[in-house]
Structure 1
Amino acid sequence: MTPYQHTVRPVLFSQKGATTRPVHAVTPADLENGRLDAAVTDWAKAAGFKAEAGAFTLLPGKNGGVAGALFGLGKNPSEQPFVAGKLSKLLPPGDWHVEGEGVSPEQFALGFGLGSYCFSRYKTEKSKDVRLAIGASADAADLERQLASVFLARDLVNIPTNEMGPDELDAAFRALGAHYGATVTTIVGDDLLTQNFPLIHTVGRASASQPRLLEMRWGKKGDPRVTLVGKGVCFDTGGLDIKGAANMALMKKDMGGAANVMGLALMIMDAGLAIDLQVLVPAVENSISSNAFRPGDIYKSRKGITVQIDNTDAEGRLVLADALAYADETPPDLLIDMATLTGAARVALGTELAPYFTDDEDLSTRLTAAAGSQADPMWRLPLWMGYDKDIRSRAADITNAPSGGMAGAITAALFLKRFVTAAKSWVHFDIYAWVAADKPHASVGGEAFAIRALYKVIKDMAAR
């Protein structure tokens, strides 16, 4: 296969002035209160269409043609804000527009676009030329950049490690930076030791693909400074504390944090936001070899904090620790890290809700508001300092794997907090980066979590 390049997607939105057919987006109440034409209502009843969320039927036209379509929003449309994702696969080819009271054209278009995604790198997929007209009030360019960012994150996670290891992630990172005129540098292999990134080197040294720290700089000094850090563990065997086969099956997604911050960076740069942007990705593979790090080993981090390795499968926090310490040396106004870090986060909130940790109350308020306005869900978990004692070690400053197994997502966040002391504001996201069951707007596979909401927060920050 050729090296990954972010592919140009089919045109999803109609050109201005195109002749379009209507999609009537309706609730069950709309069918009962006479909002639709009598003939349309009669056809809906005859076809058994009850406007459940995602229900669909075509409306007949003259001479055997199609005049339009009916699409169900369900009783509570807010419960499935992107149900329109089904339409890209249900509608016949051509240009369409949405009609319906209480429908947000922009949200409807975003759902339609998200549902059009298809990962076709390894097999041929037949695509339909289906386009949706965007209302005059919608920002088409912003919709398209949001879709591009989500598709980038999905693609990077979906590609298996034989074609998305540290070398290939490095190439994709460079390609993204080059597209937007950013400066990209990398520190590879033993240079990590000479430049004081010992934990990144430790985790990745057993792989045939050398560990590295990727850095991207974009924007103008003097603008608000934002640093994004993404966990780039391209595959995680668990190291010498090896995972079982079932737990290893999805470990190509362990670089989901890197994929998500790259998607977020795409939006920031594409929009030309007044932001001084830094993106850091420690890219490694946690492999097994004669030089793999061991349980019981103790290493000094970039920050000088010593870490006892009590489980080689708790490697993500190690690579993040060095990257966060580096970011903190030139304190940003906002430091965001994203990582597929703990199973405990999934036990707490499941696979669909992005947990985050911060001790900045104002930032949390802004994140919550953005999550609601962008239909990009997240939930705050506590940085409970009462558990800080659990990450202490008898032989070193801290352990990477507290015993007992309780509050694992919180203790992981507290571990990372030790390496952030100067940034004005910091937030840690412990994401899943995967869709476990098909949704209207997302099929099973890699997924973007919380980055559209974060984009809104950063866009507001740039506009102040």
Structure 2
Amino acid sequence: MTPFQHIARPSVFSSSDALSKPVHAVTPDDIKAGPGNIDPATLAWAKAAGFTGEAGTVLLVPNEKGEVASALFGLGADPADAPFISGKLSKLLPAGDWHIEAAGTVDPRFLLGFGLGTYSFTRYKTEKQKDVRLSVPSSADAADLERQLAGVFLARDLINIPTNDMGPADLEAAFRALGEHYGASVTSIVGEDLLTQNFPLVYTVGQASTSAPRLLEMRWGKKGAPRITLVGKGVCFDTGGLDIKGAANMALMKKDMGGAANVMGLALMIMDAGLPVDLQVIVPAVENSIAGNAFRPGDIYKSRKGVTVQIDNTDAEGRLILADALAYADETPPDLMIDMATLTGAARVALGTELAPYFTDDEALSAGLMNAASSESDPMWRLPLWKGYDKDIRARAADITNSPSGGMAGAITAALFLKRFVTATKSWAHFDIYGWSLADKPQTPVGGEAFAIRALYRHIRGMVSG
């Protein structure tokens, strides 16, 4: 099956190198040492052009007719420091088909990096994307590379689309399209039905929007197989509510559904690979808007679990909708539950915008996640569920507050808040991701970004394949 693509784009890989041109990936030492697998004429051309093998540089090599015949690509002195430097190739090579000329096996991350670097968000542009394709050697798993790209690109696409085209109803449409592509069952609970079916916090956060709040659920796989539940925060836009954000902080709030986008990208990988799992994906989709019926600071609401929550800041809305979703998932405990959310600025202060912080009490799960992160060069870092801060989420007039005073350890207290709603599931991890790339990198442009889902895919694949 062809992986689900939310936005059509040119093919990234080609299956044969018969008509493709070679790319020699070289280090500075390769240029200094002599020919190796590079013919002497090409090496002489490189030295005459001053090409040194600096990381991310390309030198086009002509034939006797002056036509481009091959290319040299610089890996830098230590290629391990930049496993996805190959993302620059699609931007620097002329259009057409290319293959990597290598004596040994090509690192899959080199191929994946090339693919990741081809991404461009062109939904609202008339210009066409340059069509550069790389041949996948027979030693690589082309299908798995394609599905990982599709999952990452889906997450990026969904985050990049502005809220006028990606509100709660639009997110549901994308969610349904993904499920239908893989034969999954998809259901939604919309508007006041959330109250009758006991999702009061999801309804409360989204009730002021003209696009009704909803709880989306996807089920796929085989009953009796290991149960995996993915929960993603789907705040399609966050004004902050009555505790309104400033203009600068509101500018990127189309990305506040980044958790939903990421779990959908991960679900794509799992389903496309046909992993032997019983998969459940839950997305509470809302817009945190301002209107006469918006929830207010000081309000108190009962959650699905029965825990009462005092609203001390309407801009701490993500944990509210996740509370109902996590409680629902926890009623039939899965073998593994992962939630992902663009939740706190405190996580960014702690680890910046490029590391995915996660919280778990499961030591074995944490070890597995870190191993997968290292193998896939998909970074994450564990932060503590420090019980000493649990007292900070207590409220005077309700069981807990959604926004502890003091402003300290905000990522930890948010995770502890969520933990109150996961009491039966033994293996649970909460990811507090940024969902955005602030600067161009070889493997990603500025814009929506997938965090940790390639590592999570690897971990889940290993978990169920024995």
TM-score, with normalisation over the residues of structure 2?
0.97
Shift of 1:73: 0.9
Determine the structure 2 residue equivalent to 1:176: 178
Structure-2 change in CA distance of 1:103 and 1:304 (3 Å): same
Determine the structure 2 residue equivalent to 1:135: 137
Determine the structure 1 residue equivalent to 2:19: 19
Structure-2 change in CA distance of 1:112 and 1:54 (3 Å): same
Residue pairs, 1:68-83, within 5 angstroms: 68-83=70-85
Divergent runs of 4+, >6 A: none
**Which one is further off, 323-332 or 45-54?**
45-54
Residue pairs, 1:248-263, within 5 angstroms: 248-263=250-265
CA distance in 1, matches of 2:266, 2:160: 17
Determine the structure 1 residue equivalent to 2:329: 327
CA distance in 1, matches of 2:95, 2:17: 17
Question: Does structure 2 retain, via aligned residues, the 8 Å contact 1:374–1:453?
Answer: yes
Question: Does structure 1 retain, via aligned residues, the 8 Å contact 2:17–2:98?
Answer: no
Residue pairs, 1:104-115, within 5 angstroms: 104-115=106-117
Determine the structure 1 residue equivalent to 2:100: 98
Q: What is the identity, as a one-letter code, of the residue corresponding to 2:162?
A: P
Question: Does structure 2 retain, via aligned residues, the 8 Å contact 1:106–1:134?
Answer: no
C-alpha deviations, 1:191-245, integer Å up to 9, x for none? 1111110100110000000000000000111000000000000000000000000
CA distance in 2, matches of 1:101, 1:203: 58
**Which one is further off, 119-128 or 93-102?**
93-102
| SS at structure 2 position matched to 1:67 | strand
Determine the structure 1 residue equivalent to 2:284: 282
| SS at structure 2 position matched to 1:157 | helix
Q: Number of residues paired by the alignment?
A: 461
CA distance in 1, matches of 2:211, 2:99: 49
CA distance in 1, matches of 2:17, 2:117: 24
C-alpha deviations, 1:260-285, integer Å up to 9, x for none? 00000001111111000000000000
Q: CA RMSD of the aligned region, Å?
A: 1.3
C-alpha deviations, 1:135-179, integer Å up to 9, x for none? 111000000000111111000000000000001001110111111
Is 1:347 the equivalent of 2:336? no
Is 1:30 the equivalent of 2:30? yes
Determine the structure 1 residue equivalent to 2:119: 117
CA distance in 2, matches of 1:212, 1:60: 58
C-alpha deviations, 1:332-378, integer Å up to 9, x for none? 00000000000011111111110100010000010001001111111
| SS at structure 2 position matched to 1:317 | helix
CA distance in 2, matches of 1:128, 1:234: 31
Q: What is the identity, as a one-letter code, of the residue corresponding to 2:464?
A: A
Shift of 1:101: 6.1
Q: What is the identity, as a one-letter code, of the residue corresponding to 1:408?
A: G
Q: What is the identity, as a one-letter code, of the residue corresponding to 1:14?
A: S
Determine the structure 1 residue equivalent to 2:195: 193
Q: What is the identity, as a one-letter code, of the residue corresponding to 2:18?
A: A
Is 1:39 the equivalent of 2:41? yes
CA distance in 2, matches of 1:101, 1:308: 63
Shift of 1:65: 1.1
The match for 2:431 among 409, 429, 432 is 429
The match for 2:386 among 378, 384, 387 is 384
Is 1:50 the equivalent of 2:52? yes
Is 1:219 the equivalent of 2:213? no
Residue pairs, 1:265-304, within 5 angstroms: 265-304=267-306
Structure-2 change in CA distance of 1:269 and 1:93 (3 Å): same
CA distance in 1, matches of 2:64, 2:5: 45
CA distance in 2, matches of 1:444, 1:233: 21
| SS at structure 2 position matched to 1:206 | coil
Q: Percent identity, please.
A: 77
Shift of 1:17: 5.2
Shift of 1:247: 0.1
**Which one is further off, 55-64 or 250-259?**
55-64
CA distance in 2, matches of 1:127, 1:188: 38
Q: What is the identity, as a one-letter code, of the residue corresponding to 2:275?
A: L
| SS at structure 1 position matched to 2:237 | strand
Question: Does structure 2 retain, via aligned residues, the 8 Å contact 1:98–1:105?
Answer: no
| SS at structure 2 position matched to 1:120 | coil
Unaligned 5+ runs, structure 2: none
**Which one is further off, 378-387 or 45-54?**
45-54
Structure-2 change in CA distance of 1:62 and 1:461 (3 Å): same
**Which one is further off, 48-57 or 306-315?**
48-57
Question: Does structure 2 retain, via aligned residues, the 8 Å contact 1:24–1:69?
Answer: yes
CA distance in 2, matches of 1:41, 1:135: 24
C-alpha deviations, 1:377-405, integer Å up to 9, x for none? 11111111111111111111111001111
Q: What is the identity, as a one-letter code, of the residue corresponding to 2:20?
A: T
Residue pairs, 1:60-75, within 5 angstroms: 60-75=62-77
Shift of 1:102: 7.3
CA distance in 1, matches of 2:105, 2:452: 23
Residue pairs, 1:349-364, within 5 angstroms: 349-364=351-366
CA distance in 1, matches of 2:260, 2:51: 43
| SS at structure 2 position matched to 1:62 | coil
CA distance in 2, matches of 1:199, 1:93: 51
C-alpha deviations, 1:306-347, integer Å up to 9, x for none? 111000000000000000000000000000000000001111
Shift of 1:62: 2.0
Shift of 1:18: 2.6
| SS at structure 1 position matched to 2:445 | coil
Determine the structure 1 residue equivalent to 2:8: 8
Unaligned 5+ runs, structure 1: none
CA distance in 2, matches of 1:108, 1:125: 27
Question: Does structure 2 retain, via aligned residues, the 8 Å contact 1:164–1:234?
Answer: yes
Shift of 1:100: 4.1
CA distance in 1, matches of 2:67, 2:375: 39
The match for 1:420 among 400, 422, 426 is 422
Shift of 1:40: 2.4
Shift of 1:93: 2.0
Question: Does structure 2 retain, via aligned residues, the 8 Å contact 1:5–1:175?
Answer: no
CA distance in 2, matches of 1:102, 1:55: 22
Question: Does structure 2 retain, via aligned residues, the 8 Å contact 1:354–1:450?
Answer: yes
Determine the structure 1 residue equivalent to 2:452: 450
Question: Does structure 2 retain, via aligned residues, the 8 Å contact 1:105–1:134?
Answer: no
Structure-2 change in CA distance of 1:414 and 1:101 (3 Å): farther
C-alpha deviations, 1:406-441, integer Å up to 9, x for none? 111011001000100111200000001101000011
The match for 2:243 among 241, 244, 255 is 241
